C-alpha cells in the first residue's frame, strides 16, 4: 500500500500539483505587473529608451529624493534600535507580573495601518492635539506652540512608534536564551558591565540585532502613509514620489523608472536580510528561559524596569489614547463625529458617505481573507511535502512566496495600473483588483502562520491513517486539520487585518465610488474644516479598533511567540 505523503496526498507530484495555482497567481499578479513596470520604464514606445532613466539620474531633485529616502530610514533605524534595546533586555532577563500583557501592548502599534499611526500622532502632537491644547491653556496662548506636521521629527517619531517592537521582540527572543554564564565569566575576570556588554553580549546578539535593524530599515525605506500625511508635502520618499507621478502629476514612464530603482534596492536589502537571518540560525550555546530570567527583587531592579518600559509605554500608548479622546471631543463632541460618518450633507446621489468605506473595507477584507487562506494553504501543503518535495519545490517556492514582502505596496499598485488596464486582463475598473492586491500583500503572512504547524505533524500519523484505509481526504480531515486549524485561524485574521489597513496599493487602484477606510481617512484629512478632521479621527478610531481586535484574536489563537 502507498504511504500518504506529508501533505496527506498520494504520489510524488502532489506538491507540484498543489503549487500550480499559487504559482500562476504570482506570475499573473506579481511578476507580470513588475515586468510591465520594467517595460514601461525602458521601452515606453516599444523600443529601448533611456530618457526616463537619464532624467532620473540627471535630476538633482530625484537624487535628493533617493538620498532623503535612504538617510531618513537610516536615522529612523538607529533611533528604533537605541530605544528598543532596553525593552529587549527587560523582557529577556526578567519575569514580572503583567509581562505578557505588556508584550501584547507593545505589539499593538505594529499591526496598525500607517494612516492610523499618522492620525494618532497628530491627535497627540498636532495643532489641535492634546499637548498643544494643554500648553495653550497653561501658558494662555492663542495659537498652538507646537506643530509636528510637515517636520522630519514627525516622520522619525512615527517610524519609532511603528517599528520599535521589532527590536524588542526579535532581539529579546535571542537575549532571553543567551547563556548568562558567559557574561558572569567576563565580570569575574574584571570586565565592567559596559565592557561585558560590548565584548560578550553584543557580538552574540549581532545576528538578531542585524536582522531586526535591516527589517526596520526596509519598512522605513518603503514608508508611504507616514511620509504622505505627516510630511505635509515638504518631504517625499521614493514611495511618495511614485504616488505623485501616478496620480497628481502623471508621468507613468518616470514613475515606472522610480519603481524599478526602488525594486532593485529593496530586493538587495531583502537578499542581505536573508543572509543575516541565516547567520542568526547558526547554532549557539542556548539556555532555557527559566534559567536565564530572574524576578526583580531589589529597588534597583524595579527602577530599571520602570526606566526602560515607561518611556516606551508612553510613546506607544499615549497617541492611541489621544486618538480615541480627540475623536470624541473635536467639533460637537460626543458621538457626533461618528454619527456624521453616516450623513450626506450635500444631499447628492453622487456623494459616498464615509461609512460606506467601512462596508467596502469589510467586504474586501473578507474576500481577500478567503482567497489568501486558500492559496496559502496550497503553498504550505506543497512546501511541507516529503523530503524530495522540500528539497526541490520547497526551496524554490518558499522564498518565491516571500518576494511581495520585499516589494512596496505603491509599486504593486503602479504595476496593476500599468499591466491590468487592457485585454486580456482589463481589471482597472473592477473592484476585484483591490482584492487581488490585498491577497498578494497578505499571502506571505498566511504562509508563515500555517507552515510551522504543517511541518510539526509527524509523518507516522498520516501513515497510520493511510494504513488503516483512510483516503487522502480523510487523512487531511482527521489528522492534519485538527492540528493546523489554529494556524489557519491565525493566518485568516492576519489576512483580514492586513487588508483592512492596506493603503499604499489601494490608493492607486481603488474606484472612487468604492473607497476603503484608509483611503477615506486620507480624503477627509485632505479637506479643510473641523468637521472633516473630526470624521477622520472617528474613522481612524474605528479602524484602530478593528485592527486591535484582530491582533487580540491572533494572540488568543497563537499564544505567546
Average pLDDT over residues 37-49: 76
Average pLDDT over residues 27-38: 89
Range with lowest mean pLDDT among 109-123, 260-274, 463-477: 463-477
Give pLDDT, residue 279: 61
Note the pLDDT tens digit of each residue in 4-21.
454 544 445 555 666 788
Query: Does residue 359 have a pLDDT over 60?
Result: yes
| Greater model confidence, 143 or 285 | 143
Query: Does residue 560 have a pLDDT over 50?
Result: no
Give pLDDT, residue 82: 92
The per-residue pLDDT of the chain, averaged, comes to 80
Give pLDDT, residue 440: 92
Range with lowest mean pLDDT among 328-337, 408-417, 452-461: 452-461
Long-range contacts of 278-285 (CB under 8 A, 24+ apart): 279/207, 279/210, 280/174, 280/207, 280/208, 280/210, 280/211, 282/207, 284/178, 284/204, 285/179, 285/182
Average pLDDT over residues 240-261: 84
Please count the helices (runs of H) and the strands (runs of E) in the chain: 28, 2
DSSP symbol at 68? H
Q: Which CATH architecture has domain 15-39+60-325+333-558?
A: Orthogonal Bundle (1.10)
Residue 310 binned pLDDT confidence (cut-offs 50, 70, 90): confident
Separation CA 503–CA 410 (nearest Å):
8
Range with lowest mean pLDDT among 70-84, 135-149, 454-468, 515-529: 454-468
Return the sign of the alpha-carbon dihedral for residues 183, 186, 187, 191. Answer: negative
Query: Does residue 122 have a pLDDT over 80?
Result: yes
β-bridge mates for residue 426, sequence order: 421
Domain boundaries, the chain: 15-39+60-325+333-558
| Greater model confidence, 70 or 547 | 70
Residue appearing with cell numbers 512615527:
158
Separation CA 357–CA 351 (nearest Å):
12
Residue 387 binned pLDDT confidence (cut-offs 50, 70, 90): very low
Note the pLDDT tens digit of each residue in 75-101.
999 999 999 888 888 888 888 887 777
Range with lowest mean pLDDT among 347-351, 386-390, 515-519: 386-390
- Helix, strand, coil distribution of the chain in percent, nearest 5: 75, 0, 25
The CA dihedral of 122, 266, 421, 44, to the nearest 10 degrees, is 120
Separation CA 558–CA 552 (nearest Å):
10
Cβ atoms of 214 and 103 within 8 Å: the answer is no
Q: Is the peptide bond before 424 cis (omega within 30 degrees of 0)?
A: yes
Question: Nine-digit cell at 159?
Answer: 517610524
Give pLDDT, residue 75: 95
Radius of gyration of the chain (CA): 25
Give pLDDT, residue 466: 66
Residue 354 binned pLDDT confidence (cut-offs 50, 70, 90): confident
Query: Does residue 107 have a pLDDT over 50?
Result: yes
Nearest to 408 by CA among 515, 502, 523: 502
| Greater model confidence, 17 or 444 | 444
Query: Does residue 281 have a pLDDT over 70?
Result: no
Question: pLDDT exceeding 90 applies to what percent of the chain?
Answer: 10
| Greater model confidence, 149 or 324 | 324
Whether the model pTM is above 0.85: no
Average pLDDT over residues 20-43: 87
Query: Does residue 120 have a pLDDT over 50?
Result: yes
Amino acid at each position: 500500500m502507498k504511504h500518504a505523503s506529508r501533505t496527506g496526498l498520494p504520489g510524488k507530484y502532489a506538491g507540484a500539483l498543489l503549487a500550480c495555482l499559487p504559482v500562476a497567481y504570482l506570475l499573473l499578479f506579481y511578476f507580470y505587473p513588475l515586468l510591465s513596470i520594467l517595460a514601461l520604464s525602458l521601452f515606453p514606445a516599444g523600443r529601448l529608451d533611456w530618457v526616463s532613466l537619464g532624467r532620473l539620474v540627471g535630476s538633482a531633485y530625484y537624487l535628493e529624493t533617493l538620498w532623503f529616502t535612504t538617510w531618513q530610514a537610516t536615522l529612523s533605524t538607529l533611533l528604533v534600535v537605541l530605544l528598543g534595546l532596553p525593552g529587549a533586555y527587560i523582557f529577556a532577563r526578567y519575569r514580572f507580573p503583567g509581562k505578557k500583557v505588556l508584550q501584547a501592548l507593545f505589539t499593538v502599534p505594529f499591526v496598525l495601518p500607517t494612516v492610523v499611526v499618522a492620525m494618532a500622532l497628530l491627535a497627540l502632537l498636532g495643532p489641535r492635539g492634546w499637548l498643544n491644547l494643554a500648553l495653550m491653556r497653561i501658558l494662555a496662548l492663542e495659537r498652538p506652540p507646537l506643530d509636528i506636521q510637515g517636520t522630519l521629527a514627525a516622520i522619525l517619531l512615527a517610524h519609532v512608534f511603528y517599528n520599535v517592537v521589532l527590536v524588542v521582540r526579535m532581539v529579546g527572543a535571542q537575549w532571553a536564551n543567551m547563556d548568562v554564564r558567559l557574561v558572569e565569566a567576563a565580570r569575574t575576570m574584571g570586565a565592567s558591565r559596559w565592557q561585558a556588554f560590548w565584548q560578550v553580549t553584543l557580538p552574540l546578539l549581532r545576528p538578531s540585532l542585524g536582522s531586526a535593524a535591516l527589517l526596520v530599515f526596509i519598512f522605513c525605506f518603503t514608508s508611504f502613509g507616514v511620509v504622505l500625511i505627516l510630511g505635509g508635502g515638504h518631504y517625499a520618499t521614493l514611495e511618495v514620489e511614485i504616488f505623485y507621478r501616478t496620480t497628481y502629476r502623471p508621468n507613468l514612464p518616470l514613475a515606472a523608472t522610480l519603481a524599478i530603482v526602488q525594486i532593485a534596492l529593496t530586493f538587495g536589502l531583502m537578499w542581505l536580510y536573508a543572509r543575516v537571518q541565516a547567520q542568526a540560525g547558526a547554532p549557539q550555546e542556548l539556555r532555557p528561559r527559566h534559567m536565564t530570567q530572574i524576578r526583580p527583587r531589589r529597588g534597583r531592579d524595579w527602577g530599571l524596569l520602570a526606566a526602560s518600559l515607561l518611556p516606551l509605554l508612553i510613546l506607544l500608548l499615549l497617541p492611541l489614547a489621544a486618538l480615541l479622546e480627540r475623536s470624541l471631543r473635536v467639533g460637537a463632541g460626543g458621538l457626533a463625529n461618528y454619527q456624521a460618518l453616516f450623513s450626506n450633507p450635500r444631499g447628492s446621489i453622487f456623494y459616498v458617505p464615509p461609512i460606506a468605506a467601512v462596508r467596502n473595507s469589510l467586504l474586501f477584507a473578507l474576500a481577500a481573507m478567503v482567497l489568501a487562506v486558500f492559496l496559502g494553504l496550497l503553498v504550505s501543503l506543497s512546501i511541507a511535502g516529503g523530503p524530495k518535495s522540500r528539497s526541490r519545490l520547497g526551496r524554490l517556492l518558499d522564498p518565491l512566496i516571500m518576494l511581495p514582502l520585499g516589494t512596496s505596496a505603491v509599486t504593486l499598485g503602479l504595476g496593476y495600473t500599468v499591466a491590468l488596464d487592457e485585454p486580456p486582463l482589463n481589471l482597472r475598473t473592477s473592484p476585484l483588483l483591490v482584492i487581488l492586491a490585498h491577497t498578494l500583500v497578505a499571502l506571505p503572512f498566511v504562509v508563515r502562520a500555517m507552515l510551522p504547524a504543517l511541518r510539526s505533524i509527524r509523518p507516522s500519523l498520516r501513515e497510520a491513517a493511510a494504513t488503516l484505509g483512510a483516503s487522502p481526504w480523510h487523512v487531511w480531515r482527521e489528522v492534519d486539520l485538527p492540528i493546523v486549524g489554529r494556524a489557519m485561524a491565525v493566518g485568516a485574521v492576519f489576512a483580514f487585518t492586513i487588508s483592512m489597513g492596506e493603503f499604499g496599493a489601494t490608493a492607486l487602484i481603488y474606484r472612487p465610488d468604492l473607497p476603503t477606510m484608509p483611503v477615506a481617512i486620507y480624503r477627509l484629512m485632505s479637506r479643510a474644516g473641523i468637521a472633516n478632521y473630526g470624521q477622520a479621527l472617528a474613522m481612524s478610531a474605528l479602524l484602530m479598533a478593528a485592527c486591535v481586535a484582530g491582533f487580540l484574536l491572533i494572540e488568543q489563537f497563537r499564544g505567546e511567540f
